[in-house]
Structure 1
Amino acid sequence: MGYREPPDRKSMHSQIVRDVGIRIVAGSYKPGDLLPPEPSLCAAYEVSRSVLREATRVLVAKGLVISRQRTGVIVRPRSDWHLLDPDVLYWLIQTRPPAEFVETLLTVRRIFEPAAAQLAAEVASAQGVQAIAEAYAGMEAAQTPEELLEPDLAFHRRIAQATGNDLLAYIGNMLSLALRESIKLSSRHPDTHALSLPRHKAILKAISNRNPRAARRAALVQLEATRKDLSEILDRDVDRA
C-alpha cells in the first residue's frame, strides 16, 4: 500500500499516515518532537484510537517515529528515516525545493551509477546486456518525452540488475522513484531526446564491449550532461518567477 497520493476520504488511516509523514519530512515536526497526544489527533481526524495506532505503526515501520509508553510518539532523527522507502522518498521529493532535490539525487547517482555500469561491464550475462539493449531500443523508439520515460528508467534499473548483485539491484529499483521525477524535469529541455540517446548509447556500448573503464566514464559523462541540462531548466524557472 502506498501513501503518495491524496487518499480516499473514507481512508482515514491513509490520510493520517500521509499528513503526518509529510509534516515530519517537511520539518513541521522536528526530530525529538512529540507528536500531538492521541486524544488530540483522534479528535482532529475524527477516528478511533485503533485507527490512529495503526497509522502510527506504519510511521514507525518507515523509521519516522518511535512510540514509547507513558511518553508518546517521538519523531526520530533524520539518520533513522528509511529514505529508500517509496513513500518517504516521495514525500522528501515533494517537500524540497527542486534545486535541492536535484543536487541530492545527482550526488547519489554519481556514487552509484558509474560503479554499477563498471561492474555490469565486468560481470553481466549475455541476457543482462540484452535487457539493457532492449531498454535502449525502447528509448530510441520513443516519439515524445512521455514515451521516453519508462524505457529510460528501465535502462538504469537493468544496469543495476546486470551487476548480479541483489542489493545493488534493489537500490537501483528504489532510486527509480526519485529518478522518475528527475527525468520528468529534464524532459522539459527542448532537445531532451536528441541529447539523451547518444549519452545512453555510449554506456550501452561500453558495457556490451566489456570495457569497465569506458562504462564508468560514459556514466559520469551522462550525469555531468544531465546536471547541465537540469541547471538550465531550473535557471529558466527562476528567471520566469
Structure 2
Amino acid sequence: MKGSHSAPGYHQPPDRKSMHSQIVRDLGMRIVSGEYRVGDRLPMEASLCATYDVSRPVLREATRVLVAKGLVLSKQRAGAIVRPRNEWHLLDPDVLYWLIQAKPQPEFVQTLLTVRRIFEPAVAALAAKVASDESLKSVAEAYAGMEAAKTTEELLEPDLAFHRRIAEATGNDLLAYIGNMLSLALRESIKLSSKLPNTHALSLPRHKAILTALLSRDSLAARQATLLQLEETRGDLSVILDSGIDLA
C-alpha cells in the first residue's frame, strides 16, 4: 500500500486530502466486498496508520466518514466494527458505487432490475397523475436530448435525465432523491446495454411510449410502458452477459 504513494529513495509526505479519500475508498471497498465481515473489527489504528503512512487524525477523519455511511460503528477502546448490511446507507453514492464494483456483473444487473421494477412503474404512474405541465416539459426535453444524440456516449446523460425527471415530476422529494441516487447504478446499466450495436434504435421507442403516456396523463399506460421498457432492457442485458462481449 505504501508503494502506491512513495517513490524509492525519496519519501514525500502524503497529501492529507488525497490519502483521506484513498483510505475511505479502500476500507469501504473491503467492507462492501466482504473482506471485512459483519462484526469484524478493522485493524488497530497503529497498524492502519503504518499501512497508509498517515497520522492518527487523518485516519480518524476517514473512520468518521465510514461511520457516517453506516458501514462501521466506532467504539472507544474497541475500535471500528463492521455493521450489519441492513444498516449500511446503500443509497450513499460512494457505498452504492462500491457495491456495484464488488458485485459480479450478472448479480448487479439482477439487483438493479429488481429495484427498478418496483420503483419506476409506480413513479411513472404517479407522475402521470400529479406532474405539473412544466415537469412534463422537462421530461420531454430529456427525451428530445435522447433523440438528438448521435452516439451511445451522447445518449447516456439525457437517458439518465429522462428517468430522474420522471421521479422529480411526482413532486415527492423522497422519490426524487431515490431516483437521483439510483442514477449512479443506472449509469452503469446503460453503459452495459450500450454494448449492443443497435442500442439507440432500441431505446428511443421504449422511452417515447413512456413519454406519450405521461403527456396523456394516462397512469395505467405509463406504468405498463415502463414495465415493458424494463422487461426489454432485461432481455438486452441478458444477451450482452451471455454473449461474451468484452465488458471492460
TM-score with structure 2 length normalisation?
Answer: 0.92
2:193 matches 1:186: yes
Cα separation, 1, equivalents of 2:161 and 2:179: 10
Shift of 1:190: 1.1
Give 1:17's match in structure 2, choosing from 15, 20, 24: 24
**Alpha-carbon spacing, 1:190–1:239, altered in 2? closer, same or farther (3 Å):** closer
Give 1:106's match in structure 2, choosing from 104, 113, 129: 113
2:167 matches 1:160: yes
2:132 matches 1:132: no
- Structure 2 residue aligned with 1:42: 49
Structure 2 SS opposite 1:210: coil
Cα separation, 2, equivalents of 1:239 and 1:36: 37
- Structure 2 residue aligned with 1:198: 205
- Structure 2 residue aligned with 1:231: 238
Per-residue CA deviation, residues 193-232 of structure 1 (Å, 9 max, x unaligned), is: 0000000000000000000000000000000000000000
Shift of 1:239: 10
2:72 matches 1:65: yes
Per-residue CA deviation, residues 44-65 of structure 1 (Å, 9 max, x unaligned), is: 1111111110000000000000
Give 2:34's match in structure 1, choosing from 6, 27, 37: 27
TM-score with structure 1 length normalisation?
Answer: 0.95
2:107 is aligned with what amino acid?
Answer: E
Task: Return 5+ residue gaps in structure 1 as ranges.
Answer: 1-5
- Structure 1 residue aligned with 2:95: 88
2:210 is aligned with what amino acid?
Answer: I
Structure 1 SS opposite 2:91: coil
Task: Return 5+ residue gaps in structure 2 as ranges.
Answer: 6-13
Per-residue CA deviation, residues 89-122 of structure 1 (Å, 9 max, x unaligned), is: 0011111111000000000000000000000000
1:124 is aligned with what amino acid?
Answer: A
1:116 is aligned with what amino acid?
Answer: V
Percent identity among equivalent residues?
74
1:70 is aligned with what amino acid?
Answer: R
2:184 is aligned with what amino acid?
Answer: L
1:49 is aligned with what amino acid?
Answer: R
Per-residue CA deviation, residues 148-183 of structure 1 (Å, 9 max, x unaligned), is: 000000000000000010100000000000000000
Shift of 1:237: 2.0
- How many aligned residue pairs are there? 234
Cα separation, 1, equivalents of 2:168 and 2:246: 40
Per-residue CA deviation, residues 104-143 of structure 1 (Å, 9 max, x unaligned), is: 0000000000000000000010001100000000000001
1:115 is aligned with what amino acid?
Answer: A
**Which of 1 and 2 has greater Rg?**
2
1:141 is aligned with what amino acid?
Answer: A
- Structure 2 residue aligned with 1:173: 180
Shift of 1:238: 7.5
Cα separation, 2, equivalents of 1:153 and 1:22: 25
